[in-house]
Amino acid sequence: MLLKSINPANGELIREYPESQWEEIDNVIRDVNLAYKSWKKTALHKRIDYVRQLARLLELKKEALTFLITIEMGKPILEARAEIDKCIWLCNYYCDNIDEFLKPKTIDTEASESYTSIQPIGVILAIMPWNFPFWQVFRCAIPTILAGNTMVLKHASNVPGCSIALEDLFNEADFPADIFRAVLSSNRRVERMIANKKIAAITLTGSTKAGQAVAQTAGKYIKKCVLELGGSDPYLVLDDANINEAVAACIKGRLLNTGQSCIGAKRFIISEGIYDEFEAKFVAEMRSATMGDPFNEFNQLGPLARHNIREDLLSQVNKSASQGAKILCGGDIDYDIDGFYFPATVLSEVKSGMPAYNQELFGPVASLIKVKNEQEAIQIANDTSFGLGAAVFTSDIEKGKYIAEHELEAGCCFVNDFVKSDPRLPFGGIKESGYGRELSVYGIHEFVNIKSVYIK
């Protein structure tokens, strides 16, 4: 089987890559496990030096990596460049803080001495998505590797070029051999990879369906997994919100990465007192969003990453419209132009039972929902099987803080800003958006043995 790298801006084949065969995959896992035996004993300051060198290499190769992201999955070039910058930030953040994160913690007991010691656990299998092909990998790989583990990457099959480039980066940064390896594989090989006795744990970023399959297999073999899955993130815009600032943040939250983000804003729940003004300004901004060649820095929207993603999104929009949703702008595809483009789209009168309400819309489509009051807004926000991110916009900061902390059912809740990942903050969801956390100190603790040591 061949993995095809296709340029989503024109639908043309970039290159074909042979899929890794079973013997090759088994050998990679074996070699990464052998590397773990020595890597876990490598002094922390030496691990930090390798990651510092990796960050410097990212800076040196930024433009080439930016080009690769844009041509292989269609990300607008300014956002692709920002993705590499974010990876550099993450590397430096962990290098600056890892010593504190891994320090033993003394615990008072009847013993003469008792404490917790953080130890690595082995080879981590990373099953990663295409939408942030470098950031998603770095945010799980860097803390995991600094903690003393090693990693095997099974990247999305439509970004094989990025997968190879990631392994090359670790090699060029002079990491010891086999600390980080990539295999080119379709999803059909994942179950057997998880079953391999040398795989200690699994981290997956992907769809809820993929999470169910991985969790089932990991459970069968009693292996821990971290799952960061889909989202239908609600943004509450209350009566006292600054409408211009709310619209600006909501547009950013919806159009980032051409709307292809698990934590992207999806459902906009607006108080009826300001609904008409919000709708008018929001639709105007969406209509004016420039779409086209992702290498043109003036374009906000590039193509969707694959043909089937575009067709699935169109089906969700059309079905919602057939059930009563009103299309205020966008909503159709120009098949006369090359590439997998989908225009910025706004749906109003969205209700429960419609795909635009209940499902994740992976593309630049926004669902507007009018509510009578704050209580109804919160009820609708939580009326979802997902729980990744949420936001609330209000001029009353204390009220916004209370709603974010106590009322909204999600792993990441923001006040007066769009939801985004940050190396300093834990990232992850609840309900069908998955479990476990990445980033900050909590991301470090997912794939370690927090060992209790007791001396009488």
Can you tell me the distance from the alpha carbon of 361 to that of 40, in angstroms, rounded to the nearest whole number?
A: 42
436 CB-near residues (< 8 Å, 6+ apart): 203, 225, 226, 227, 228, 428, 446
CA-CA distance, 260 to 74, in Å (whole number)? 11
Phi/psi of residue 268, nearest 5 degrees: -110, 115
- What spatial distance separates the first Cα and last Cα of the chain, rounded to whole Å? 59
Token pair belonging to 420: 């985004």
- Beta-carbon contacts of residue 151 (< 8 Å; ≥ 6 apart): 32, 123, 124, 125, 126, 140, 141, 144, 145, 179, 180, 181
Alpha helices, DSSP H, located in 185-289: 190-195, 208-220, 243-255, 272-288
C-alpha pair distances (Å), 258 with each of 130, 153, 230, 379: 13, 25, 16, 28
Specify the length of the chain in residues.
456
Those residues with Cβ within 8 angstroms of residue 196's Cβ, 6 or more apart along the chain or in another chain: 26, 29
Which residues, 6 or more positions from 336, have their beta carbon under 8 angstroms from its beta carbon? none
Q: What angle do CA 132, 265, 160 make, to 5 degrees?
A: 15
Q: What is the maximum span of the chain, computed from C-alpha positions, in angstroms?
A: 77
**Residue where the block lists tokens 């992201």:** 69
The catalytically annotated residue of 228, 374, 409, 438 is: 228
Integer Cα distance of 419 and 219 in angstroms: 31
CA distance linking residue 272 with residue 277, whole number of Å:
10
Is 228 catalytic? The answer is yes
Q: Looking at 87, 162, 225, 262, which residue is catalytic?
A: 262
User: 412 catalytic, yes or no?
Assistant: no
Which residues form the catalytic set?
228, 262
